[in-house]
Amino acid sequence: MRVIRLAHAARGVRGIAHHSIPHDCVRFEDVVRASHRIRSGIVRTPCEKSHWLSQTTGCNLYLKMEQQQFTGSFKERGGRNALLSLPESKRSAGVIAASAGNHALALSWHGPQLGVPVTVCMPTTAPMAKVEKCRAFGADVVLHGAHILEAKAHAERSEFEGLRYINGYDDPEIIAGAGTMGMELLEQVPDAEVVVLPIGGAGLIAGVALGSIGLIAGVA
């Protein structure tokens, strides 16, 4: 059996997935479009066999090395896709997001490259290293709330009206962008049988399921 595991597991907040997107809102075709859209700005990360883990688990286990993205996370895929999906007329107004780290970093890094102003609301408990990186990348960082739900509520307040809010997982473009990893890993390991993923808000597993099953129906 060949198993693929995501090497970088971003920590998510438990129990806050809202499931507000209809299941048929994002399709395999959206993942294909996202793949072409973002390819010049993200790393096509390797999918390498781990001999030690393969021996330990009794199967051929590969690691998709998403920590090699510039900000260290798969979140760049969805973030860049969401930014590039904005109509030209909306880009100058900017976007806003609530995140304690990786989603904020992804938007903060790619936004300035694409001419999109980025504001990120981060809880006061967010790691200072990530807060400072967002600022260094050019984002307007607003620290608010003791946890991500309070930061999210602040981001959605009327004072930020006019900015496009980009949810870190419950967003069609974010899901489609994450799905590009599913396409890649099956191009790299075409006989894979199982893909193992971490789940926070579920945007990653939704996208990878679309991207991988769209290529090979038998993948679990």
Domain count, the chain: 2
Q: Has residue 18 been placed in a domain?
A: no
Nearest-angstrom CA–CA distance, 119 and 108: 8
pLDDT at 156: 87
Q: Across the chain, where does the E strand assignment appear?
A: 2-6, 47-49, 60-64, 95-98, 118-122, 140-143, 164-165, 194-196
Nearest-angstrom CA–CA distance, 66 and 69: 6
- Please tell me the least confidently modeled range out of 137-151, 152-166, 193-207: 152-166
Domain of residue 39, residue span:
2-9+24-73+171-213
Same domain, 79 and 127: yes
> CATH code at 56?
3.40.50.1100
Residues forming beta bridges with residue 142, ordered by sequence position: 121
Same domain, 40 and 88: no
Pull the structure tokens for residue 213.
Answer: 């099953």
The structure's pTM equals 0.86
Using a pLDDT cut of 90, give the percent of the chain over it: 74
Nearest-angstrom CA–CA distance, 210 and 27: 7
- Please tell me the least confidently modeled range out of 18-32, 65-79, 82-96: 18-32
Asked if 206 contacts 34 with a C-beta cutoff of 8 angstroms, the reply is: no
Asked if 80 contacts 107 with a C-beta cutoff of 8 angstroms, the reply is: no
18 pLDDT more than 50? no
pLDDT at 11: 35
Q: Which residues of 83-113 are buried (b: 16+ CB within 10 A; e: fewer)?
A: bbbbeeeebeebbbbbbbbbbbbbbbbbbee
Q: Has residue 219 been placed in a domain?
A: no
pLDDT digits (tens, 9 = 90+) for 21-68: 454 589 999 999 999 999 999 999 999 999 999 999 999 999 999 999
Q: Has residue 68 been placed in a domain?
A: yes
Residue 51, judged by CB atoms within 10 A of its CB (0-12, 13-18, 19+), counts as exposed
Mapping DSSP to helix (H, G, I), strand (E, B) and coil, where does residue 10 land?
Answer: coil
Same domain, 32 and 138: no
Q: Has residue 17 been placed in a domain?
A: no
Q: Has residue 37 been placed in a domain?
A: yes
